[in-house]
Amino acid sequence: MSPAKARASWLNRAYIGLVNPALNGKTYLGIGRRVRELQQLERMSPAQNRSRQWQALSRLLQHAYDSTPFYHERFERAGVRPAVMERLEDLQKIPVLTREDIRQNLDGMWSRRFARESLRQAATGGTTDTPVPLLRSPECLTEKLAVQFHFNSWAGMWPGDRVFMLWGAQQDLVPDPSWRWRFYERYLMRHVTAPTSVLNPEILESYRRLLNDFQPKVIYAYPTPLTIFCEYLRDCGRTYHYPRSAICTAEPLLPQQRQTIEQTLRCAVFEHYGSRDFGMVAAECEAHQGMHLNPSAVFVEFVPVEGAEVDGLHEILVTDLLNYGMPLIRYRINDCAMPASAPCACGRGFPLIKKIAGRTTDNFYLANGNVVPGVALTNRVIQVCPGLKKVQVIQNTLSDFHIRYVPGPGFSASDLGLLGSKLRVFFPDPLQWTFEEVPEIERERSGKTRFCISHVKRNETTPVPEETRA
């Protein structure tokens, strides 16, 4: 293994400038320049970055006020004039934007400066919630990609580097890839994907072989499946390839998980925080003292959470400074964070947050030894049941599952049947399901939203011998 290399090589530059635009289209044009601009921004002082951010925010507000009926009306009602806005208090007069608002005002939110058909619909997720269709201008896709590339570069990952993705979100994967797609993905885009909806020793072993064959530079993964994979690698007693860095995203990375991954893969672990609505929002740098927000991409407000278990926990409200197609202003993303008090040792001029208490999911351990990471369900199960607003899956014993749900407007009993059949894809064994209708699924006092809760401990899951079962 050669040392970590965070600087872009000639191959990386070729990918940024030539291969990506040629293969993936116009969106990838001009990303290199934009990344270089971001590298300049990170060298500026926090004060300079703040003032630039405020300018960008005022521009966005003015744009929203001028060109979207929804925000025009909303600002009018709140008595906010973007042109004369000077302080944070002025901004706080604007009501918080919720998912419900977007769902109800879809047509009023897109900017009339764009042609409706030029806006792209984003594949939005919604881990604990039903998804909402978001629109984006084509320009902002490029910028969001640049932000992501820039964050990745802190972990030494540039376009063109070999990446092994341990991916939980099924909708990102091509269900039944053709050989052409596989060739494109593996040899041109240079990444391989390992789905993590069900994990058992055979599947993990095949991933180990894939890891050794592919020799990736970076592992890009959901933390829980990656931890399961690392535990397997550690205990299986066979050799495996060590990447140069591991990037964890989509779920909060627990300290225990970080330690396991570091010690098994012998590399630094970087946590990234993003959402489907905004793209990448924050990422860890090489000092590992928290995650840096990118002030040119998002404006984040911190609202103190009362009665939280930990001091300094804040709910975050995000304003997307890049998407002019459908502005999202003071959007409640339903995650909590702790802003850092001290600046990061790396010296970057980007603000730092200590940790994210977002959605957490447990793993489900089944009687046959399979493990189903809760994250695998999040994007898969909820989106197909339009009548359900929120779902929480609780495993009480090996075979006893309890589901709490919040019914949506078009709810009917068939939705539950549909949900059950979707769940049976993951849990083929006869299991006992109970359903309970609840008015709301509350956030925990630690600030976390728990979508999957398992009360089954791992050691209880040793497969039952055939004789005793009979």
Partner 1 sequence: MKAVHATQTSLSKNASEDGRGPGRSAASPNMLIALRSEIFRRCLYPLLLKRWRPTAQVYLSKLRKYEFAEVESIETVQWTKLQALIRHAAQNVPYYRNLFREHGIQPEDIRSRQDFARLPILSKATLQEACNELLADDRHTKSGRPNASGGSTGKPVQFFQDAAYWDQAHAWQSFVESWWDIRPGDRTASLWGADRDIPEQSWRERLYGEIGQLRVCNAFALNAAQMERFAKMLVGWQPQHVIGYASALEVFAKFLAERGEFRIRPVAVKTTADILSEERRRIIEKAFGCPVYNFYGSREINNLAVECPARLGLHVNTLSRHIEIVDDENKAVPPGVPGRIVITDLTNYFMPFLRYEIEDIGSWTGTPCSCGRPFPLLAKIWGRSSDFIVTPEGKLIHSVFFTHLFYDMPDVALFQVNQNDVHNVEVQLALRPGTSEYPESLLRKRLRQAFGPNISFKVQVVPKIDRPPSGKHRFTVSSVRPSWGRTDQSIEQWTGVEAL
Stretch that binds partner 1, among 216-224, 258-266, 355-363, 449-457 (CB under 8 A): 258-266
Cβ neighbours of residue 65 closer than 8 Å, sequence gap 6 or more: 71, 72, 75, 81, 82
Two structure tokens written together for 70: 């929804």
**Which of 35-43, 126-134, 201-209, 332-340 is the region at the interface with partner 1 (rule: CB under 8 A)?**
35-43
Pairing of strands 134-136, 120-122: antiparallel
Structure tokens at 179: 């050989």
> First-to-last CA distance in the chain?
50
Check residue 286 for interaction with partner 1 (CB under 8 A). yes
Q: In angstroms, how far is CA 22 from the centroid of its own chain?
A: 27
DSSP H helical segments within 158-310, as ranges? 179-183, 201-214, 223-236, 255-265
Q: Is the four-CA dihedral 440, 380, 104, 110 of positive or negative sign? A: positive
Near partner 1 by CB under 8 A: residue from 26, 59, 234, 424? 59
Instruction: Please state, in angstroms and rounded to a whole number, the distance separating the CA atoms of residues 369 and 316.
Output: 39
Q: Is residue 45 involved in binding partner 1 (CB under 8 A)?
A: yes
The nearest distance, CB 94 to partner 1, in angstroms, is 18
What is the closest distance, in whole angstroms, from the C-beta atom of residue 73 to partner 1 in the complex?
A: 20
Binding region for partner 1 (CB under 8 A) out of 2-10, 309-317, 412-420, 458-466: 2-10
Alpha-carbon torsion 38, 117, 72, 315, what sign?
negative
**Which 92-111 positions form the footprint of partner 1 (CB under 8 A)?**
111
Tell me how far, at minimum, the Cβ of 221 lies from partner 1, in Å.
Answer: 16
The smaller minimum CB distance to partner 1, of residues 211 and 269, is found at 269
Give how many residues touch partner 1 by CB under 8 A: 55
Q: Specify the pairing of strand 268-275 against strand 279-284.
A: antiparallel
Among 90, 185, 231, 262, binds partner 1 (CB under 8 A): 262
Shortest separation between residue 230's beta carbon and partner 1, angstroms: 11
Are 67 and 311 spatial neighbours (Cβ–Cβ below 8 Å)?
no
Smallest gap from Cβ 278 to partner 1, in A, equals 14
- Smallest gap from residue 151 Cβ to partner 1 (A): 12
Q: Where are the beta strands (DSSP E) in 237-296?
A: 245-248, 268-275, 279-284, 291-293
Nearest to residue 419, comparing CAs of 387, 397, 442, 394?
A: 387
Among 16, 28, 31, 42, interactor with partner 1 by CB under 8 A: 42
Q: Is 279 in the site for partner 1 (CB under 8 A)?
A: no
Nearest approach in angstroms of CB 85 to partner 1 is 15
**Interaction of residue 363 with partner 1, rule CB under 8 A:** no
Residues that bind partner 1 (CB under 8 A): 1, 3-7, 36-37, 39-45, 48, 56, 59-60, 62-63, 111, 113-115, 137, 139, 143, 153-154, 242, 258-259, 262-263, 265-269, 285-289, 296, 321-322, 324-325, 345-349
